[in-house]
A = this chain, B = another copy of it.
Amino acid sequence: MSFLVVGSVAYDGIETPFGSEDKILGGSATYISITAGFFGLKPRLVGIVGRDFAVTDVQLLKSHNVDLEGLQVDNSGDTFFWRGKYHYDLNNRDTLETSLNVFEHFNPEIPDSYKDSEFVCLGNIAPALQNRVLDQVTRPKLVVCDTMNFWIEGARADLMETLKRVDVLIINDSEARELSSEPNLVRAAEKIQKMGPEILIIKKGEHGALLFTGSGIFSAPAYPLVDIFDPTGAGDTFMGGFVGWLARTGDLRDENMRRAVIFGSVMASFCVEAFGSKRLISLENGDIEKRYTEFMELSTIPEIINL
């Protein structure tokens, strides 16, 4: 089914205890669309890049089946650049540099050929821009949205408007607590679902993820990784896998939502195994299904035996 993603396309500079990269392809729309490409989709990407955007990165996206008709190229400046440093536990990072560059004046324009998109991924950008995207699409089957503390604190009114219009919100546990002013995640989820999204996913990093639907809760485990090289893009990759699976199957029932959460977790677990998108783009046939099976083995609870 048709799949639209709007978000950032960026270059990242990354330092971790295991190495560093000066300038590597990143951005939410990049990770989401590359990931969704693995689910047999042709992701329609809406974003903006500058004069320094490399033709090899255009080729990379195209080779992963990403439709670039909606990618704006602004020759007046450079591509959005972010540089950050992760500490030893990889849970915390310091932002060392943020240069918005051409992204500062990004105004998402949805090409006519994209307006009928059935699955819409709103990457982590200003809620006002997310709303502008929703104004332009006609009748999406599912709208999935990401956000972050920066917008919860600084653009709350806009975010509340967005939330009324989305079907699925994907955030992490600290964002859920902040958005709802509620420390207990079950109560937090109830409050957030009343803000608009019928379905909520709370990502808990090394502790997995929780899926809240109208009918109950699903607790997804995290893949027990020994070597985590670079967490950059893991959240976006989760979104790409989650929505990618739903768009591939077109099945929005609860049981399939569970599968989608696991596919999101599978893709995110690959993402962190190497810098940037390096591991993702090296995935081969069968890798994804194999890890899905490992998630099943990891969390299967045997039936009670009768005594």
Chain A residues in the interface with B (C-beta under 8 A): 40, 88-89, 183-187, 204, 206-208, 210, 216-222, 224-226, 228, 248-249, 255-256, 258-259, 262, 289, 292-293, 295-305, 307
Contact = CB atoms under 8 A, between A and B. Distances in A.
A218 B298 contact: yes
Contacts of A219: 208, 221-222, 224, 298-299
Contacts of A185: 206, 224
Contacts of A299: 218-221, 299, 301
A302 B249 contact: no
Contacts of A228: 184
Instruction: Choose among A226, A228, A256, A301 the residue with the greatest number of B CB atoms under 10 Å from its CB.
Output: A301
Contacts of A293: 304
A278 to B, nearest CB: 21
A249 B305 CA distance: 9
A255 B305 CA distance: 11
A130 to B, nearest CB: 29
A156 to B, nearest CB: 23
Contacts of A187: 226
A71 to B, nearest CB: 29
Contacts of A307: 40, 248-249
Contacts of A221: 208, 219, 221, 299
B88 A301 contact: no
A66 to B, nearest CB: 21
- Shortest Cβ-Cβ A-B pairs, 6 listed: A219-B221, A207-B207, A296-B301, A186-B224, A186-B226, A89-B183
B258 A225 contact: no
A162 to B, nearest CB: 26
Tell me which of A186, A207, A295 has the highest count of chain B C-beta atoms within 10 A of its own C-beta: A207
22 contacts: A40-B307, A89-B183, A184-B226, A185-B206, A186-B224, A186-B225, A187-B226, A204-B207, A207-B207, A208-B208, A208-B219, A217-B298, A218-B298, A219-B224, A219-B299, A221-B221, A249-B307, A255-B302, A258-B302, A259-B304, A289-B304, A300-B300
A224 B220 contact: no
Given A219-B208, A219-B222, A224-B217, A258 B183 contact: no
Contacts of A249: 305, 307
A300 B303 CA distance: 11
A55 B145 CA distance: 60
Given A206-B185, A307-B249, A262 B301 contact: yes
Contacts of A300: 258, 300-301
Given A296-B301, A299-B299, 13 more contacts: A186-B226, A187-B226, A208-B208, A210-B224, A218-B299, A219-B224, A221-B299, A249-B305, A255-B302, A258-B302, A259-B302, A289-B304, A299-B301
